[in-house]
Amino acid sequence: MTPQDAQLLAALELQHAALGPLVARSARMQRQLATVVPAEWSGPARQAFALAMRAVAASVDYADETVRSAFTLTGAAARVVASRG
């Protein structure tokens, strides 16, 4: 393995290790989102809350997808660099 590949592999492994906890955290965030609009909310307030919750859920879903993709692609890149020996 060249010195450049060794440095690259070390950086990829470090990044992969840092992304692992973020994957777990984003999954926890998804599970913790409110899924029901409180019954005491009605009319425009209820609609505004529901709309805001859908926007938050979409943002969390996007963040989760992005972090999972980065984790997967970083792992794949590390495997490619490691396979070059």
How do the domains of the chain map onto residue ranges?
3-83
Q: What is the pLDDT of residues 36-69, one digit of tens each?
A: 777 777 889 888 888 998 999 999 999 999 999 9
Length of the chain equals 85
> What pLDDT is stored for residue 50 in this prediction?
86
Q: Helices 3-32 and 43-83, interaxial angle, to 10°? A: 160
Q: What is the pLDDT of residues 3-48, one digit of tens each?
A: 999 999 999 999 999 999 999 999 998 888 877 777 777 889 888 8
Q: pLDDT class for 85, splitting at 50, 70, 90?
A: confident
Closest CA to 19 of 82, 84, 85, 77: 77
Residue 81 has pLDDT above 90, yes or no: yes
Distance of CA 11 to the CA centre of its chain: 19
CB 57 within 8 A of CB 33: yes
Residue with tokens 């992304």: 19
